[in-house]
Homo-oligomer: A and B are copies of this chain.
């Protein structure tokens, strides 16, 4: 049965959980389909994650390969296809715990960067798993700065081949997934040399293992990069190349080609490479970043109404820890953030879709804005959600620290999202570069992309709020965010110009402003997030109950941001100290209001117990029983103490014998 302390939370929901779930899914029919996919996967023991927290890296890897192989079979059985509506739910159903993700990137990179002929040759082989692909870009010595890659591909005109080498240790490919022990082929990014001249980084298809016995091909050294904070299931590998020859046809040549006589030809816009990266950044936000935060909130909030500790009032029963203001302050802002970023993800998807439509018409005008937004939002959302998951973990105290809570693995995995697909600081700086450019353009009266038109608008000097209720008006707080973003962008632009005018070289001046440029980029993305949340709430007019609670969450997200970044709002007096006290009062009031719906709000995310894989977060709230039962399954409880015969017994007995 359900723990009564959890059951009672569900009886007082101010809205229909099922309706909210359906709305989040984009309609009840999507909810049905999602549940059917999840059910089909979870009822199959092949996909079980039951013993995951006890497994070694080798065991996790083997299980991930097993699941990938069986998924292929399952999809065939169920009639699911990669392009079908079910596919997006499969990844959720397996919680990303599966191999061959890089095989998919291998396929995508050939589809995007390969010629029709290359596509015709390689895609069928890859799709039918006649080979296993990987994607070898990052090196030991270079990650984000791709121009610095050191792997070389020298064109040999006599044999019509490229000779690939990793000429020094730092040139070794390092981190590529599916590569250490699985892949037979990979796309290698290398500096192209023709007649001694370097043409920059290009992609080459290289076979690394025998299709017959999986032995390494001549000139190839490859293996696993060793233990990581998470991703034990992913086969991250290293790769060294020593005079490895591939035919001229193996350079992906949709956009550039080396002709038989060594002539280098470039076709089309190199900007399209941006677009691939942009795709990946946007696609990871939902599955790898927002979903883990939603799971963490579900676990921590359910636990916080089951856990009773200390007394609010002497003589009473011990209180649910979620009734403490400090616990609400830990868990409810991340909950609001999970909703905020879920909605921003929709906004980015729409922006992406319209940009993609334009690109198909050969119009690349939206690319800079899309690149700037996807970079900044990738950085903001990964940082915010990572911090939120950490807060959820810590808010569960010692039990959160147990792997059995599910929180440590959510946390150590999401932490990587701040690093991969572009290090966050560098991404913020790319957004900042765009913002500074737009700000300069605005000051000379040029037109601006839609997301930054606000940089040109005239704003009031002071926040007009007169009491704490005024701060529950989306216009009031959205305007405050906008004002702050403009101020940070304009003051940094001014500092940059001052430095340059005072004789500091441009690149030095830029470096001296980067701490503030990052702040400005964050403020911009934060503003768009708040604005988008408020607009999303407005559109909910036909669903009164849901609109009301979403409005509270939107207010909370916005006011929490002002409360916890008070300095940037107070700096020029746009918000006064007295107004900041109103913000604080309204913010703290909202905590108490939203607390009442906290459990329904996480129930609406509709995660199954198997998907949460948490002793603390299950729907029935039987946390202590489950912690105890799960601990019994640990390999540490399968035998007598492994130290007893060797160390403990001699220690205790030697001493005993001396008596």
Contact = CB atoms under 8 A, between A and B. Distances in A.
A603 B69 CA distance: 50
Interface stretch (A353-361, A533-541, A640-648): A640-648
Nearest to A640: B214
A577 B588 contact: no
Contacts of A447: none
Nearest to A424: B394
Interface stretch (A36-44, A244-252, A291-299, A505-513): A505-513
A144 B172 CA distance: 50
A58 interface: yes
A143 B309 contact: yes
Given A309-B148, A655-B128, A403 B229 contact: yes
A641 B570 CA distance: 58
Contacts of A570: 566-567, 570-571, 577
Given A62-B642, A145-B318, A644-B214, A401 B224 contact: no
Given A169-B625, A225-B631, A641 B182 contact: yes
A269 to B, nearest CB: 22
A229 B408 contact: yes
A648 B145 contact: no
Interface string A394-438: 100110111110001000100110111001010001000000000
A457 to B, nearest CB: 22
Contacts of A512: 325, 588
Contacts of A141: 307-308, 624
Could you say which of A131, A229, A416 has the most chain B C-beta atoms within 10 Å of its C-beta?
A229
A113 B182 CA distance: 59
A226 B53 contact: yes
Contact of A130 (B58, B418, B632, B655): B655
A401 B419 contact: yes
A75 to B, nearest CB: 14
A568 B659 CA distance: 65
A643 B182 contact: yes
A515 interface: yes
Given A641-B182, A655-B129, A636 B318 contact: no
Interface in A144-162: 144-145, 148
A78 interface: no
B515 A61 contact: no
A127 to B, nearest CB: 10
Given A325-B511, A398-B138, A643-B61, A184 B652 contact: yes
Contacts of A458: none
Contacts of A404: 226-227
A225 B402 contact: yes
Nearest to A210: B652
B309 A628 contact: no
A83 interface: no
A66 interface: yes
A217 B164 CA distance: 67
A203 interface: no
A634 B224 contact: yes
B643 A65 contact: yes
A175 interface: yes
Given A65-B647, A326-B515, A624-B170, A637 B224 contact: yes
Given A214-B648, A318-B145, A570-B571, A227 B627 contact: no
B65 A145 contact: no
A481 interface: no
Contacts of A140: 624, 627-628
Could you say which of A211, A419, A636 has the most chain B C-beta atoms within 10 Å of its C-beta?
A636
A56 interface: yes
A142 interface: yes
Interface string A575-590: 0010010001000100
Interface in A591-643: 624-625, 627-628, 630-637, 640-643
Could you say which of A132, A143, A567 has the most chain B C-beta atoms within 10 Å of its C-beta?
A567
B402 A419 contact: no
A399 B644 CA distance: 37
A515 B331 CA distance: 13
Given A145-B309, A214-B641, A228-B401, A572 B577 contact: yes
A398 B143 contact: yes
A57 interface: yes
A429 B513 CA distance: 38
Nearest to A180: B636
B402 A144 contact: no
B631 A53 contact: no
Contacts of A129: 651-652, 655
B637 A223 contact: yes
Given A226-B637, A325-B513, 9 more contacts: A143-B397, A214-B649, A224-B631, A226-B402, A226-B404, A313-B508, A566-B570, A570-B577, A572-B577
16 contacts: A65-B643, A66-B643, A66-B647, A69-B651, A143-B397, A144-B397, A145-B310, A172-B628, A175-B398, A181-B644, A211-B656, A223-B631, A224-B637, A225-B627, A412-B412, A566-B571
**Which 8 residue pairs are nearest across A and B when measured between Cβ atoms?**
A566-B567, A181-B641, A65-B643, A224-B636, A226-B631, A227-B403, A226-B634, A145-B310
